[in-house]
Structure formats: structure tokens, C-alpha cells
């Protein structure tokens, strides 16, 4: 097993002046499950392909363990990759697909069969070993692709959106299987997805990229509780965090008809930047709903209600700073408001996030 280091790794595609990945710096520990996440075109797949040796590195270095692999061909890097489209050989059986890399490496037949059977047992594929891929479901094919990676016993697993071809229910169960399998095998894994729910539920740590730049790398809990900037705040969490630009006032920020206290450090940091307003972030579950008669906080006109049984999400709009702003508020399943009604909501002071309106960086502790 081995650690993985991106040391200011940069990739500039031919004909482009802007790097697709710009000085990426991440240390991935031995046995860690790291998820690279971000919107389309942010550089996450390029980063993975640089690690795999499928993309040139134009600056910086990449190390696996203490070996510099920056310019090594893929076959010499001791990695195994699982792709989105399975990449199975249609004319071969499941067993032959899983053992193909070992056969090419000259491993004897008995050893290959032993390793394939061990991997098939782990992945619940034993009864399918003599079938061709076309006789399998999408989820089973993805497990065959996983098995092919496992039998090689690589130092690092690389997974490029391996679940995006599966239906929603299968994605959830396969997600759990991959995470528990990785923990059992203890192999360092770098996993790429655009789905932030996948990122938060699977990774030991999550790295968020935007436009080729690393925004934050942290545990899922820290990233949810302390996003480093406005981009991470709006990207991580489902439904997304509410982000509202509000004026600074004595002792806090003016949130509708209420003043919500904010730490003195955050306010002085904002005034140092010359900001008269700050952007406040509130997760949907961190609003308190005031009584119908109250005029506290913000008046939210209810447009759509999603009832989920145990709780519900209210999608509404509120007048903030002279313009209408969309807000999402989580409410209890037994206290669902009517469409067209008005809710008064106040954010919980200890749960709000404060960001600089001009730079987007986090100001609150």
C-alpha cells in the first residue's frame, strides 16, 4: 500500500493558456479514501488521469509512496482504474475479464483462478464467473470491473465516476459496497464524482475543485460545518445552503426584521475589507420558524412544499435588500405549511456562516 502526493501538479492542455488543473497540492495517506468532487470541467477527472499516467503533467510532481511517478507510463505505476463505462471485454467470461491483467503479466493459471475466485466471493459474483458481460446487469458489470482491479492487488485504486451509469437505488447500495470494500482491503483510493452526496457519504476526506483550483480538502463533517468559501458552501449539502447578502448592523447582521448576532471577529474582518454587507449562509435545517402572528425574521412566501414523511422542505421566496431571494427551509413532517402561506423564519445564531461578499472567503470562526 502507499500514500499519494500531488505536489503542485499542473496540467495545461495543448492550445490552451489556462491550466485544467492548477498547482494541485494534496497529501493522501496510506489506506485513505479520498473523493475529488466538483462541477463539470473543474479538473477532477484530469487530476485522476494525471495520477494514472493518462495525462501529461506540465508542472509539479506526483508521487506514489516515495516513488516519483510523474513521467512513468501507466503500467509502471502499480495502480488499477475503475471506469464509468466498465470497459469489459464482451467476448470474455467474467472470470477471464477479471483475470486478464494477471494473464498478460504471465501469472500461472492456478494462481489467477485462485485470485479471481477470492475477489468474486468478496463481490458476490461467484455464480456469474462463467457468464459473458452481456448477461449481467449494470450493477453486476460494475462489480466485475471492481473485481478486475482487486485481483491485481495494486497500491492505489482510481475510480472515475463508477456509479454514474447505475439507477438511483442501485447507486446507493453500490456506494455502500464500495466504501465497505475499500475499508476491508485498506487500499488507498482516489475516487472522482460530481455528486456531492456520494462524496460526503463515501470519503474519509473530500477535496472540492473549481476551475482547476483546489478550494478545500477536509473531512465530510468539517466541510459541511465549516465551508472555506462561498463556492464550497453552496456546493456541499443537499438541498444547498441558503446564501443571503445582508447589511452589517450594530452587534450583528440585519436579517429581515431581526438582528442576528455575529462574532465580532467576522464583522471586523468584513469592515477591514471595506464591506458594508456580508453574505450569510444558513442550512435549511438551521432556521427556527416563528409563530404565525410573529413578525420576527424574514417573511417567506411558500411556493412549493416537498413532503418527505419525517420532515419536509419548504421552497419559498423572501424580500431581502429590495430584491426577491429564493430560500429553502426544513420543517417537521407534522408541521407542513400550506402553499401560498407565509412563514416567518429566523436563523439560529450559533449555526450561521458568514462570508465576505467581495472575496467569498469565510469570516466566521
Q: Are 338 and 304 in contact (CB under 8 A)?
A: no
Exposed/middle/buried for residue 291 (C-beta within 10 Å: 0-12, 13-18, 19+) = exposed
- The reported pLDDT for the residue numbered 59 is 94
- Per-residue pLDDT, averaged over 18-28, amounts to 95
Confidence of residue 221 (pLDDT cuts 50, 70, 90): very high
Model pLDDT for residues 331-358, shown as the tens digit of each residue: 988 888 888 888 888 889 889 999 998 8
Instruction: Walk me through the domains of the chain, giving residue ranges and CATH numbers.
Output: 4-234 (3.40.50.300), 239-356 (2.40.50.140)
For residue 163, give the C-alpha cell.
Answer: 456509479
pLDDT cut 90: percent of the chain above it: 56
- The reported pLDDT for the residue numbered 172 is 87
- The reported pLDDT for the residue numbered 313 is 94
- The reported pLDDT for the residue numbered 293 is 64
**Helix or strand or coil: residue 232?**
helix
Model pLDDT for residues 169-178, shown as the tens digit of each residue: 888 888 888 8
Model pLDDT for residues 230-247, shown as the tens digit of each residue: 999 999 998 999 999 888
CA 137-141-144 angle, to 5 degrees, is 145
Confidence of residue 70 (pLDDT cuts 50, 70, 90): very high
pTM: 0.89
Residue 267 confidence (pLDDT) above 90: no
Residue 3 confidence (pLDDT) above 90: yes
Q: Are 156 and 64 in contact (CB under 8 A)?
A: yes
Amino acid at each position: 500500500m502507499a500514500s499519494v502526493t500531488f505536489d503542485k501538479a499542473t496540467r495545461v492542455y495543448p492550445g490552451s493558456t489556462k491550466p485544467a488543473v492548477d498547482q494541485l497540492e494534496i497529501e493522501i495517506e496510506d489506506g485513505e479514501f479520498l473523493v475529488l468532487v466538483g462541477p463539470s470541467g473543474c479538473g477532477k477527472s484530469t487530476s485522476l488521469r494525471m495520477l494514472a499516467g493518462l495525462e501529461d503533467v506540465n508542472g509539479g510532481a506526483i508521487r506514489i509512496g516515495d516513488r516519483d511517478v510523474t513521467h512513468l507510463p501507466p503500467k509502471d505505476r502499480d495502480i488499477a482504474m475503475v471506469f464509468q463505462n466498465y470497459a469489459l471485454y464482451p467476448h470474455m467470461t467474467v472470470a477471464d475479464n477479471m483475470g486478464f491483467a494477471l494473464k498478460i503479466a504471465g501469472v500461472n493459471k492456478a494462481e489467477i483462478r485462485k485470485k479471481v475466485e477470492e475477489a468474486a466471493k468478496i463481490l458476490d459474483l461467484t455464480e456469474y464467473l462463467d457468464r459473458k458481460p452481456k448477461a449481467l446487469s449494470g450493477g453486476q458489470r460494475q462489480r466485475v470491473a471492481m473485481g478486475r482491479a482487486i485481483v491485481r492487488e495494486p497500491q492505489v485504486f482510481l475510480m472515475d465516476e463508477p456509479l454514474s451509469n447505475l439507477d438511483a437505488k442501485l447507486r446507493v447500495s453500490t456506494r455502500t459496497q464500495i466504501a465497505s470494500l475499500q475499508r476491508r482491503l485498506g487500499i488507498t483510493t482516489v475516487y472522482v464524482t460530481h455528486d456531492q452526496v456520494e462524496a460526503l457519504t463515501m470519503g474519509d476526506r473530500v477535496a472540492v475543485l473549481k476551475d482547476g483550483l483546489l478550494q478545500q480538502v477536509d473531512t465530510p463533517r468539517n466541510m459541511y460545518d465549516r465551508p472555506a468559501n462561498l463556492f464550497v458552501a453552496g456546493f456541499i449539502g443537499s438541498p444547498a445552503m441558503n446564501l443571503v447578502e445582508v447589511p452589517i448592523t450594530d452587534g450583528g447582521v440585519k436579517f429581515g426584521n431581526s438582528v442576528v448576532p455575529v462574532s465580532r471577529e467576522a464583522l471586523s474582518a468584513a469592515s477591514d475589507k471595506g464591506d458594508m454587507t456580508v453574505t450569510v449562509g444558513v442550512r435549511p435545517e438551521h432556521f427556527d420558524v416563528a409563530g404565525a402572528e410573529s413578525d420576527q425574521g424574514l417573511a417567506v412566501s411558500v411556493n412549493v412544499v416537498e413532503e418527505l414523511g419525517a420532515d419536509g422542505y419548504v421552497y419559498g421566496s423572501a424580500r431581502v435588500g429590495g430584491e426577491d431571494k429564493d430560500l429553502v427551509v426544513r420543517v417537521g413532517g407534522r408541521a407542513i405549511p400550506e402553499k401560498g402561506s407565509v412563514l416567518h423564519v429566523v436563523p439560529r445564531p450559533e449555526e450561521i456562516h458568514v462570508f465576505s461578499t467581495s472575496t467569498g472567503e469565510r469570516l466566521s470562526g
